[in-house]
Structure formats: C-alpha cells, structure tokens
A and B are shown apart, each in its own frame.
Chain A
C-alpha cells in the first residue's frame, strides 16, 4: 500500500470543497471511473461528518494506492464532547453501500477507512 497524499485540516464546511476536489483528483489518478469518483467523494464527506459529530475539530485524511484507492480518515487533536445525530446512522450505512472494506473505529481514537478498487 503506497501513501500518495496526506492532508491535515480543520473541520468546517468551508474546507469541504477543497477535500472533495482533492479526493476527485486522487480518484482520477487511481483510474476510478467518474461514478466511483463521485461515490468516493460522498464517502469522504460522510466520514468527516462522523468525525465532527464524534467531537473532533481537526482530521487527517490519507490516500493510499492499493489496487485502487484506499482512504483513511482520522480525528486529530483533542476530542471534545460528541454530538451524535440520527443522520450518523445514515452516513455509516451509506459508506457500507458505496465503498468496500469499510471500517469505522470508535474506541479511543476515531477513524474511518474504506477502499475503492480500480
């Protein structure tokens, strides 16, 4: 698994466009078709929402090349009070529906990882 890009970012709606564009670029680099590239953007956005609701204000997004695109997103820094919303259930189910090898770790750290095979 080869690391291709890592970004550390503050979690706010204003940064989402940047993250989605970077995700689209990485998906294109890994030869995902347009539909899967869009699905990947949805998964990254949903993961960041889950991490925000888990109480983090920063996240680290890492893109790996692994027979396609593998993405790991982790909460960074101090963890504040969680504010889970009912839509979190939808986010998690959507990740499972769109991506492969989805793993959500909620204990201690908070991370979401998933893959899109080329």
Chain B
C-alpha cells in the first residue's frame, strides 16, 4: 500500500496495526526534529519520546485528502509539542546551573588535556573529551566573564551588589521545601521512586525506566500523571 492508501485504510478502520506501520515509516522525522532541539537542557531521549507521541497524535489527525505531504503536516505538530514540553519543564530546567556545572568540568578537562599534551587545549578538544557540543564549551567559557559586584552600575552610585536580588530567599526556600515534602507524601511508593530518579538524580526517562524495570513509555505516562496530580494539589491548596 502507498501512503495515501495506508492513511485511508487507517482512517476507515482505525486498525492500530496500520497506525503502527505508518508510525514506523515516519519515526525518522521524530528523530530528526528531536535532534534539532537538543542542547536546551533536555536530553535527546526525552525529546525523542515527546516527538514520537506527537507523531502518533498527528497520524490520527492527518487527512490525506487535503493534498499536503505528511512530513509537511507533521513537522509543525512535533515542533509544537516539543516547545510545549520545554514550556512545561521551564521551571525545572536550570540553565545557569547547567552552565556553571559545565564550566567546572571544562576547567578540569582543560587541565587534564594540558597535562597530557603540554599545551592549552582547543574548544573542540574539550568538547570531545566531555562529550558535549563545541558550541556549549564556547558558551560556557564566555559565561565566565567576571564583573565586580562593587562596580557602580547606576548614576546614584549603587553597585551590582545593591541592585541584584538575593539568589535565594531563605524563608521562601523553607516554605517551598515544606510544600514539596508534603506533596511527596501524597504519592505512592512507585511515584516517589520516579520523582527521585527524574528530579533528584536528574536521570533521563530511559535511565529511569531501566532502574525501575519498566518501559520508557510507562515512565513518561506516570511522570505526566504525577505532575498533573501535584499541579492539581497545589492549585487546590492541599499542600
């Protein structure tokens, strides 16, 4: 069957086997697009998972009679889902911390390579050693420019030290910690384990699935369910 016949048959019968056949054929698009969104603080495996689910949703919605290619139709759908995922996770992704961590690793790798070769390493060498894109190394190095906190930044003589907000409000931190601990108590043992792997140890969904002995799909669904549950509890002021 060609594409048009496949989609027509799936729309007529709703046969999951046909949907899976279409999905397998176009899974490469999910992979290609997921790759284009890496480097933003979310692992490729997770992006691929989101993109694959978007592909499945898109197959259900695609109407071949409208005369556009499936790849043209599905690309914005997948990109949109990935961007939604970034938005949902934005509170959990701490870019500055990521850069700070990379800077620390960068320094170590730089010293190690220098000791081995007797010269300063290039960004490409450090990137290869750390297994990160060269662009991240350059950005992390750039982020290291030091500015004195006492330097005046305003005409009235106030310095960065005076105008920058405190990094953490200790009272708010205690408040947040209490709320999180209370919320975690409402979760099952399995749900708490998932939160521990995903947000305590910052493991990918694939790694979490391996540790829990379940599929990545199961982790994805359970995680979504937990986040919805917690969101609802916070909204209703239960924690």
Within 8 A of B (CB), among A74-118: 86-87, 89-90, 92-94, 96-98
- Indicate if the CB atoms of B32 and A21 lie closer than 8 Å: no
> Across the interface, which residues of A come within 8 angstroms of B138, CB to CB?
17, 21
**How many whole Å from A33's CB to the nearest CB in chain B?**
10
> A66 near B: Cβ within 8 Å?
no
> Across the interface, which residues of A come within 8 angstroms of B37, CB to CB?
38, 42
The interface stretch among B68-76, B183-191, B225-233 is: B68-76
Whose C-beta in chain A lies nearest to the C-beta of B71?
A89
A17-B135, A34-B95, A35-B83 known; A89-B76 Cβ under 8 A: no
- Please report the number of residue pairs spanning A and B whose Cβ atoms sit closer than 8 angstroms: 49
> A58 near B: Cβ within 8 Å?
no
> B66 near A: Cβ within 8 Å?
no
**Cα A86 to Cα B72 with chains together (Å):** 11
> A60 near B: Cβ within 8 Å?
no
> B62 near A: Cβ within 8 Å?
no
- Indicate if the CB atoms of B75 and A21 lie closer than 8 Å: no
- Indicate if the CB atoms of B75 and A94 lie closer than 8 Å: yes
Chain B residues touching A, range? 20 to 34
Chain A residues touching B, range? 20 to 34
Instruction: With a 10 A CB-CB cut-off, give which of A17, A42, A45, A86 has the most chain B CB atoms.
Output: A17
**Cα A39 to Cα B39 with chains together (Å):** 11
**How many whole Å from B79's CB to the nearest CB in chain A?**
4
**How many whole Å from A22's CB to the nearest CB in chain B?**
11
- Indicate if the CB atoms of B32 and A90 lie closer than 8 Å: yes
- Indicate if the CB atoms of B86 and A97 lie closer than 8 Å: no
Return the contact of B36 from the options A21, A34, A35, A94 (Cβ within 8 A).
A94
**How many whole Å from B172's CB to the nearest CB in chain A?**
23
Per-residue CB contact flags for chain B residues 155-190 toward chain A (1 = under 8 Å, else 0) read 000000000000000000000000000000000000
Within 8 A of B (CB), among A19-63: 20-21, 24, 34-35, 38-39, 42, 45-46
**How many whole Å from B81's CB to the nearest CB in chain A?**
11
A17-B138, A20-B135 known; A87-B86 Cβ under 8 A: no
> B223 near A: Cβ within 8 Å?
no
> Which residues of A approach B to under 8 Å, CB–CB?
17, 20-21, 24, 34-35, 38-39, 42, 45-46, 86-87, 89-90, 92-94, 96-98
6 shortest interchain CB distances as A-B pairs: A93-B75, A97-B76, A97-B79, A17-B135, A89-B71, A93-B72
Besides A21-B135, A34-B95, A94-B75, 6 other CB < 8 A contacts? A39-B83, A89-B75, A90-B71, A90-B75, A93-B71, A94-B79
- A–B complex contacts, Cβ < 8 Å, 21 sampled: A17-B138, A21-B138, A21-B139, A35-B86, A38-B39, A39-B83, A87-B32, A89-B71, A90-B32, A90-B33, A90-B75, A92-B72, A93-B71, A93-B72, A94-B33, A94-B36, A94-B76, A94-B79, A97-B75, A97-B76, A97-B80
